[in-house]
């Protein structure tokens, strides 16, 4: 049985939609939950308390470093710890890239990517001191695969994967596990973008159980969990074995070996950026009869 008794969870953008669902799910399994939203989140906090749980609502702009620091200080003053952070807050400013105002591009990056980084940075020393932490970043299929008219949103969401990869490595020593959720849900942000019949199937409550597993004691780390309508899948970034070009390394040589470059057989994930560097250097050295001390 997955429970969160005696744990404190902060959920951003939790006034409605996915965030609200995550907050209710955590509270239902014993967590004390902080409901963050730019709007009024007291209704969600009251709903949790009416059901016998513990909650507090904090209005704060996650892209404002001072507001985030103040929010975290309030949590620590009341409960003295933060075990779980679910970064869910977000906005949309959709337009084709040609017509997009770059202020709208920057605003979406600020809320999604910078806001997530600021919240992670604020709780990081707390989790390190505790020797325990669970963090979820929220990405999107728009960032993983692209979506017309969402260059700003897609760029911000793709950035979640890079942030997760690094925080996973840096947090491992202190049992801070970091994962990414890529949800497809019927929320205010997707209303009007999907057929009504699809929206009825893609309720936030069909996604939250996967999130609760990610932030559980025995949850994974460095996992991209895609979810919607009760389906859960893992998205992986892998690298092909590739082709070593010996002799003259020219564009024509690359073109001539292109089928080998893209051959998916033997593709594998890499542990970190240095693993990629080592892969290339060792292969080049072997071709030249050089032994590297690695």
Q: Catalytic residue positions?
A: 153
Contact 18, 190 (CB under 8 A): no
Q: Which of 33, 32, 39, 36 is nearest to 12 (CA)?
A: 36
Contact 203, 227 (CB under 8 A): no
- In the 3-class helix/strand/coil scheme, how is the chain assigned residue by residue? CCCCCCCEEEECCCCCHHHHHHHHHHHHCCCEEEEEECCCCHHHHHHHHHCCCEEEEEECCCCCHHHHHHHHHHHHHHHCCCCEEECCCCCCCCECHHHCCHHHHHHHHHHHHHHHHHHHHHHHHHHHHHCCEEEEEECCHHHHCCCCCEHHHHHHHHHHHHHHHHHHHHHHHHCEEEEEEEECCCCCCCCCCCCHHHHHHCCHHHCHHHHHHHCCCCCCCCCEEEEECCEEEEECCCECCCCCCCCCCCHHHHHHCHHHHCCCCCCECCCCHHHHHHHHHHHHHHHCCCCCCC
Termini Cα distance of the chain: 44
């Amino acid at each position: 049985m997955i429970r969160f008794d005696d744990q404190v969870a902060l959920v951003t953008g939790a006034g409605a939609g996915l965030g609200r669902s995550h907050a209710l799910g955590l509270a239902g399994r014993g967590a004390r939950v902080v409901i963050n939203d730019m709007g009024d989140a007291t209704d969600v906090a009251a709903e949790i308390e009416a059901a016998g749980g513990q909650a507090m609502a904090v209005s704060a702009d996650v892209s404002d470093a001072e507001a985030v620091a103040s929010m975290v200080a309030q949590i620590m003053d009341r409960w003295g710890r933060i075990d779980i952070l679910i970064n869910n807050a977000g906005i949309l400013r959709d337009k084709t890239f040609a017509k997009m105002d770059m202020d709208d591009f920057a605003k979406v990056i600020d809320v999604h990517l910078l806001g997530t980084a600021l919240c992670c940075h604020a709780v990081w020393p707390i989790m390190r001191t505790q020797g325990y932490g669970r963090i979820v970043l929220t990405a999107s299929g728009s960032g993983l695969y692209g979506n017309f008219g969402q260059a700003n949103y897609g760029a911000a969401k793709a950035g979640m994967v890079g942030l997760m990869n690094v925080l996973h490595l840096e947090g491992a020593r202190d049992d801070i596990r970091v994962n990414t959720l890529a949800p497809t849900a019927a929320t205010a942000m997707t209303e009007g973008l999907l057929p009504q019949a699809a929206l009825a199937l893609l309720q936030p409550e069909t996604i939250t159980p996967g999130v609760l597993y990610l932030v559980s004691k025995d949850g994974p780390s460095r996992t991209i969990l895609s979810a919607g309508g009760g389906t859960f899948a893992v998205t992986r970034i892998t690298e092909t074995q590739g082709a070593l070009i010996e002799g003259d390394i020219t564009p024509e040589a690359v073109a001539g070996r292109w089928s080998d470059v893209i051959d998916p057989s033997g593709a594998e994930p890499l542990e970190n950026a240095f693993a990629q560097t080592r892969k290339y250097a060792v292969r080049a050295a072997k071709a030249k009869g050089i032994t590297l001390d690695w």
